[in-house]
Amino acid sequence: MAKAKKTKIKVDPAEAKDRVLKILPILKKTYPDAKIALNWDDSPWDLFVAVVLSAQCTDVRVNMVTKDLFQKYKKPQDYLDVPAEELQQDIRSTGFYKNKAKNIRGAAEKLIRDFGGRMPQTMEELLTLPGAGRKTANCILGNAFGVPGITCDTHVIRLSRRLGLSANADPVKLEFDLMDIVPKKRFGGWTMFSHYIIFHGRNICKARKPDCANCPVAKHCPSANKPELW
């Protein structure tokens, strides 16, 4: 039996902007402790490594791995002072470990060569690091340097569409859509918007079966209690 095709949510930018201003205060109150789930000990480089490892892997697993990893590797140079195979084994359980090890070592080398061993603080410079896309760069900027950025992970993509904030599933296109409607600084700004949405996606608006009955923003959600839109 063919799977039913989902109905597309129509998005009006003006309505989406108004909806954001209604749901943000509610999410802020609902998730006052929202923050990045990855452990990184205030080191921007450690955060970069954790984000690279988080690709196709759970934050719980990444935190298990980085607990020992960050004790063994204190700075970028440490990742270059061991054979690539050793680093691969240290991060093996996060999956895609060969490519991740390659990106981490490549980023460490570039960081030392071009940035004096310090994480750059601009989108343009961060995007030159192997393994860094806009999602990674925004995560670093927002959480390590306090520079507003919207991190479009799977939860942000899913909920933005369900909430009628954007029709885009492409993370880059979605990011720019959200930048137009989400306050850059109010209610915690772009960075906290991502955290609120991610927390909500993990706790209430789950992928297969969102808990609309207990959703604090259901009255503002165009897809609440409408499975055909999920």
At 162, which CATH number? Answer: 1.10.1670.10
Give yes or no for residue 1 having a pLDDT over 50.
Answer: no
User: Would you say residue 137 lies in a domain?
Assistant: yes
Question: Of the listed 46, 90, 135, 177, which one is catalytic?
Answer: 135
- Domain span at residue 65? 44-144
Q: Which two tokens stand for residue 31?
A: 């998730």
> How many C-beta neighbours within 10 Å does residue 77 have?
13
Residue of 17, 59, 153, 206 marked catalytic: 153
Confidence of residue 41 (pLDDT cuts 50, 70, 90): confident
Q: How far apart are CA 5 and CA 109, in angstroms?
A: 47
In percent, how much of the chain has pLDDT > 70?
Answer: 97
Average pLDDT, the chain: 94
Specify if 27 maps to a domain.
yes
Q: Which of 110, 144, 178 is the C-terminal boundary of a domain?
A: 144
Render pLDDT for 58-111 as a digit per residue (tens, 0 to 9). 999 999 999 999 999 999 999 999 999 999 999 999 999 999 999 999 999 999
- Cα separation, 191 vs 194, in Å, equals 5
| pLDDT above 90: residue 202 | yes
Mean pLDDT, rounded, for 207-225: 95
Q: Is residue 48's pLDDT more than 70?
A: yes
CA angle 175, 18, 147 (to 5 degrees): 40
Q: Is residue 140 part of a domain?
A: yes
Single residue among 144, 166, 183 that ends a domain in this structure: 144
Q: What is the tally of structural domains in the chain?
A: 2
Residue 4, domain member (yes or no): no
Do residues 214 and 140 both lie within one domain? no
User: Model-level pTM?
Assistant: 0.92
113 & 160 share domain = no
**Which of 121, 144, 167 is the C-terminal boundary of a domain?**
144
Q: Is residue 6 part of a domain?
A: no
135: annotated active-site residue: yes
